[in-house]
Structure formats: C-alpha cells, structure tokens
Amino acid sequence: MIGSANFGFRQPFAGGMEAHSWDLAIGLRRLGHHVTVYAGPGSDPGLGAVEMWDGGDLDLSQAARQDVSMGSEAVLAEHIAYQRTMLRLMRARDVDVVHLNCVHQLPVAMSTVLGKPVTATLHSPPTPWLELAYRSVRLDGSGPTTVAVSEHLSASWAQATGWRPSVIHNGVDLQAWPMGAGAGGYAVWSGRLVPEKAPHLAIQAARRAGIPLVLAGPAYDREYFTSRIEPALGDSVTWVGHLRQPELARLVRSAAVALVTPAWEEPFGLVAIEAMACGTPVVAVARGALSDLIDDQIGALAPAEPDALADGIHHALGCDRRAVRRRAVHHFDVRIMVSRYEQLMFDAADQTHLSANGAA
C-alpha cells in the first residue's frame, strides 16, 4: 500500500486519508494478508511502515540548486520519494497487488510499468496532474482498477473525464467509536483547522444556536488560525488541540451534536461517520458527499449560513441517537469497507492472471 510521502501513519492522524489507510492496512492484516505500507516519516512503529522519504535534504549539486528551473524542494522530494518507491516495487518479486492510497500523480502514471496488478482509491476531486495521469494510463485501457470514496466523488470524475469509477465508502471501527449519550451538552467540530474546512462557520452557527462548541484538530494553517479562530476562542468556544483517536472518540460521543462545515466539495467526510458511529447527530453544510451521507433522520443539511446551520442544530438535538448509530452500523462499518477492498484486490489479481495467460 502506497500512502502519503509527507505524513506517517500514527495517531493523531494528519487527516482522513491517513486514518483510512491505517484502518485498511490493519483490516487486511486481520483477514490474514501480508501488507507492506509505504508512507512518510513518523509512522507508528507497530505498523512496520517503510519510509518513502526520511525528511532529509535532497542530494542536489549546487549547480542544480542555482538553476532557474529549481522549484520547491518539498515538491521535488515528494516526487523522488514516489519514484523510488515505484522503482523498488518494479523489482519486488513477493508482491501480488499494489494499492495506491495517495493523491500524487506519479504512482498512477507509473502503474502500467510495474508488471503487477494495481488498485487505487480516489480521495480527491480531479486535480490537473492527477486527472492527466489517469487520462494517460486509460488511453489504452490500462491503469489501476480504481474506486472512489463516495458517489459524489465518482460523479465528479465522470463529469470531468467521462469515466465513472465504482464506489467503496469509507468505514470506521465501530468498537473504537462507541455509542455515547451526548450528555456533555455541547457541539463538537473536528478536523483540520484550515479555510476549506471552515471551522469559523461552525463557531458562528453554534453561537447563533446558543450552544457551546468544542473544536478539535491540528492548526496547520497558522495564518488562518490566528486571524479567524484564535480571536473567537473563549466564552463558549474551546479548542482542545489535535487529539488521539480514543480522546477524540470520548469528546464526540459526549457531544450533543457534531458540526461539519466544508467550504469546498467534500469528497467524503470521515468526521461525519465517526460522529454517527457515536450516535451523535450531524449538522453539515450541504456540499460534496455530505449530501449523500446526511438526512433529517440523523441530523440536518443546510446552506453555508450561520442561521440555517443554527436551525439545523435545533433540529438535530431531537434526533434519536440510536437511529444515528444504526446508520453507521449498517453502512459504514470498517469491516464492510475492508471486505470490499479485499474483493477488489482479488479481482484485480485474477484479471491480471487471466490476461497474462491469454497473452501467452
């Protein structure tokens, strides 16, 4: 499994893609498969991940560094990390399937020369480089066997490319996200505190609704945090930082309601199903895949307006938490997700075997 070259897989996770990668790797191992994970520096030692890049300086001459084409060193390092990993896998003799669980274009572009079956998960809308990579490998009908994490994301790719990938929803470990009574009486917002997640909108909505708000997550964008979030803290708004999963689960299951406020077309919304697993109703901005996940039985969808979200909060407070939990159990159990990925990989391996025998 090829994950992010920039982030390791350990708690607290950098984002939803890293949490998904962890659950998928652990889930496949529990089914008896040997899974080697390639990731960025800092993964949990228990995962046994292979570091794609150690975070050190690039081995570049002074002449190269002074050239006018010299771009961002971080971008170059990421590119080389994926290139080295793909070249290593080309030589590997003990690999049955390679799974791409990243959003970089190079593994997609090199997938046709591995000589091994490749599967891939789409975690993002079409970006210029990623779309071009998929277009190039699909010209002759090759490339990874690819799935999207939501119907909305699949439709986005279909609209852009004319090719509609199948869908495997993300899942959560229901034991790690147990049912809670919501006795804390506050709203919770979790995720990366960045403009595209718009936690400032959650603050406005909670204040309009008259309910305390707890924010949890990493403040990666310091300028946004200091200008839009930090001045709003205090009184009824608290930021508890970047929590490990058990701490976050305790916070979410004690919340009366969860807010999800994307300012972009959210490809999935893992924080929404984490809340659902805890029985916590979800009030979400009706953008991206959240419109597929949320309805008035388990929360509310609303425009990106504080008053509309506040109305949604009042509605969600009356939702049956047992019904919210049941939605997660029936549709977003991580075991369902892992089983479907296992079948995806079996099918890809079988198809490659049949093609090879046909060619012979």
Q: What does the DSSP 8-state code read for residue 191?
A: S
pLDDT above 90 covers a percentage of the chain that reads 82
Q: What does the DSSP 8-state code read for residue 177?
A: S
- What is 16-171+334-359's CATH number, 3.30.465.10, 3.40.50.2000, 3.30.70.580, 3.40.930.10? 3.40.50.2000
Mean pLDDT, range 22-43, rounded to an integer: 95
Say what the pTM is. Answer: 0.90
3-state SS assignment for residue 36: coil
Confidence of residue 23 (pLDDT cuts 50, 70, 90): very high
Sign of CA dihedral 316, 319, 321, 327: negative
Cα gap 111→149, rounded to integer Å: 20
Instruction: Find all residues with CB under 8 Å of 73, minimum gap 6, and list them.
Output: 57, 58
Cα gap 314→176, rounded to integer Å: 28
Q: Record the tokens describing residue 84, joined without a space.
A: 């080295």
- At 89-101, the pLDDT tens digits run 999 999 999 999 9
- What architecture does CATH give domain 187-331? 3-Layer(aba) Sandwich (3.40)
Sign of CA dihedral 329, 335, 338, 342: negative
Identify the pLDDT of residue 55.
Answer: 65
The reply to whether 16-171+334-359 and 187-331 are identical in fold is yes
Domain ranges of the chain: 16-171+334-359, 187-331
Cα gap 177→298, rounded to integer Å: 16
Extract long-range pairs of 134-138: CB within 8 Å, 24+ residues apart: 134/108, 134/161, 134/163, 135/161, 136/109, 137/108, 137/109, 137/111, 137/112, 138/163
Cα gap 132→105, rounded to integer Å: 8
Q: Record the tokens describing residue 32, joined without a space.
A: 């008896």
pLDDT above 70 covers a percentage of the chain that reads 97
- At 113-161, the pLDDT tens digits run 999 999 999 999 999 999 999 999 987 777 899 999 999 999 999 999 9
Report CA Rg, the chain. 21
Cα gap 45→37, rounded to integer Å: 12
Indicate whether 165 pLDDT > 90: yes
DSSP codes joined into one string, 236-285: TEEE--S--HHHHHHHHHT-SEEEE--SS--S--HHHHHHHHTT--EEEE
Element (H, E) at 148: strand 145-148
In angstroms, how far is CA 297 from the centroid of its own chain? 25
Mean pLDDT, range 339-345, rounded to an integer: 97
Indicate whether 357 pLDDT > 80: no
